[in-house]
Amino acid sequence: MTKTLASPIDLARHLRGIDFPVQKEDLIQHARDNNADEAVLREMEAMPEQEFRSMKDVTRAMGHAEDEQDEEQPGVRQDRTRSGR
Protein backbone atom coordinates (compact mmCIF):
# COMPACT_ATOMS: atom_id res chain seq x y z
CA MET A 1 0.00 0.00 0.00
CA THR A 2 1.38 3.42 -0.94
CA LYS A 3 1.25 6.46 1.31
CA THR A 4 1.33 8.94 -1.54
CA LEU A 5 -1.66 11.28 -1.44
CA ALA A 6 -0.77 13.73 -4.19
CA SER A 7 -1.61 12.55 -7.68
CA PRO A 8 0.70 13.24 -10.61
CA ILE A 9 -1.98 15.65 -11.88
CA ASP A 10 -1.92 17.58 -8.56
CA LEU A 11 1.86 17.79 -8.74
CA ALA A 12 1.81 19.06 -12.33
CA ARG A 13 -0.77 21.70 -11.41
CA HIS A 14 1.22 22.96 -8.40
CA LEU A 15 4.49 22.92 -10.34
CA ARG A 16 3.12 24.55 -13.50
CA GLY A 17 5.61 26.98 -15.01
CA ILE A 18 8.67 25.75 -13.10
CA ASP A 19 11.94 25.55 -15.02
CA PHE A 20 13.87 22.29 -14.69
CA PRO A 21 16.46 21.38 -13.51
CA VAL A 22 15.59 22.50 -9.98
CA GLN A 23 16.49 21.67 -6.39
CA LYS A 24 13.98 20.26 -3.89
CA GLU A 25 13.71 23.55 -1.94
CA ASP A 26 12.75 25.37 -5.13
CA LEU A 27 10.10 22.77 -5.97
CA ILE A 28 8.54 23.18 -2.53
CA GLN A 29 8.56 26.98 -2.73
CA HIS A 30 7.03 26.91 -6.22
CA ALA A 31 4.29 24.53 -5.02
CA ARG A 32 3.67 26.76 -1.98
CA ASP A 33 3.42 29.82 -4.26
CA ASN A 34 0.83 27.89 -6.32
CA ASN A 35 -1.32 27.18 -3.25
CA ALA A 36 -0.42 23.52 -2.74
CA ASP A 37 -2.13 22.09 0.32
CA GLU A 38 -0.19 21.00 3.39
CA ALA A 39 -0.44 17.28 2.52
CA VAL A 40 1.28 17.87 -0.84
CA LEU A 41 3.94 20.06 0.77
CA ARG A 42 4.65 17.42 3.46
CA GLU A 43 5.09 14.78 0.78
CA MET A 44 7.46 17.02 -1.14
CA GLU A 45 9.46 17.73 2.02
CA ALA A 46 9.93 13.96 2.44
CA MET A 47 11.54 13.65 -1.01
CA PRO A 48 15.33 13.14 -1.19
CA GLU A 49 17.61 16.15 -1.52
CA GLN A 50 18.61 16.08 -5.19
CA GLU A 51 18.39 17.91 -8.47
CA PHE A 52 15.15 17.19 -10.31
CA ARG A 53 15.52 17.36 -14.09
CA SER A 54 11.87 16.70 -15.05
CA MET A 55 8.39 16.02 -13.69
CA LYS A 56 9.22 12.35 -14.14
CA ASP A 57 11.99 12.73 -11.53
CA VAL A 58 9.52 14.40 -9.15
CA THR A 59 6.87 11.71 -9.52
CA ARG A 60 9.48 8.97 -9.06
CA ALA A 61 10.71 10.63 -5.87
CA MET A 62 7.15 10.77 -4.58
CA GLY A 63 6.63 7.07 -5.23
CA HIS A 64 4.61 7.11 -8.44
CA ALA A 65 5.30 4.52 -11.12
CA GLU A 66 7.22 5.86 -14.14
CA ASP A 67 4.40 5.15 -16.56
CA GLU A 68 1.84 7.17 -14.57
CA GLN A 69 3.42 10.47 -15.61
CA ASP A 70 4.36 11.55 -19.08
CA GLU A 71 7.56 13.53 -19.25
CA GLU A 72 5.74 16.29 -21.12
CA GLN A 73 3.48 18.53 -19.04
CA PRO A 74 1.75 21.65 -20.31
CA GLY A 75 3.27 24.74 -18.75
CA VAL A 76 6.32 22.92 -17.37
CA ARG A 77 9.65 23.55 -19.07
CA GLN A 78 12.13 20.71 -19.06
CA ASP A 79 15.85 20.60 -19.63
CA ARG A 80 16.54 18.72 -22.85
CA THR A 81 20.27 18.28 -22.38
CA ARG A 82 21.44 14.71 -22.12
CA SER A 83 24.82 14.18 -20.59
CA GLY A 84 26.68 11.00 -21.40
CA ARG A 85 24.44 9.99 -24.30
How confident is the model over 3-26, as pLDDT tens digits?
556 888 888 899 999 999 999 999
Identity of the residue numbered 10: D
Question: Which residues, given as ranges, of the chain have pLDDT below 70?
Answer: 1-5, 64-85
Q: What is the Cα–Cα distance from 24 to 44, expressed in whole angstroms?
A: 8
CA distances 5 to 38, 45, 48, 72, Å, are 11, 13, 17, 22
**pTM of this prediction exceeds 0.85:** no
Q: 19: Cβ–Cβ under 8 A, 6 or more apart, which residues? A: 77
